[in-house]
């Protein structure tokens, strides 16, 4: 979706605003972390490396599937 914002002045301003908001909330204010992924399979492979298979299944059942 971010790639669709490039090419127009309004889109680039919006993209910069989104990225600035992400930086402000993650680094400056320490409110939360943001993970940007390129595909669902990439996210699944990344999260499996950090969690047990059971934890991943619980996460997807509770947060993704609904």
Q: Mind giving me the DSSP string for 10-21?
A: HHHHHHHHHHHH
Q: What is the pLDDT of residue 63?
A: 79
Return the higher-pLDDT residue of 44 and 53: 53
Domain boundaries, the chain: 1-34, 36-66
pLDDT tens sequence across 8-49: 888 888 988 988 999 999 988 999 988 777 666 766 666 666
Specify the pTM. Answer: 0.50
Q: What is the pLDDT of residue 50?
A: 67
Token pair belonging to 42: 């990439």
Instruction: Decide if pLDDT at 55 tops 70.
Output: yes
Q: What is the pLDDT of residue 12?
A: 85
User: Cβ atoms within 10 A of the Cβ of 60, count?
Assistant: 13
């Amino acid at each position: 979706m971010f790639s669709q914002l490039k090419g127009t002045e309004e889109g680039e301003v919006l993209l910069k605003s989104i990225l600035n908001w992400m930086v402000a909330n993650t680094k400056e204010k320490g409110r939360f972390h943001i993970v940007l992924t390129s595909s669902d399979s990439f996210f699944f492979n990344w999260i499996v490396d950090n969690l047990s298979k059971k934890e991943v299944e619980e996460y997807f059942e509770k947060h993704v599937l609904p």
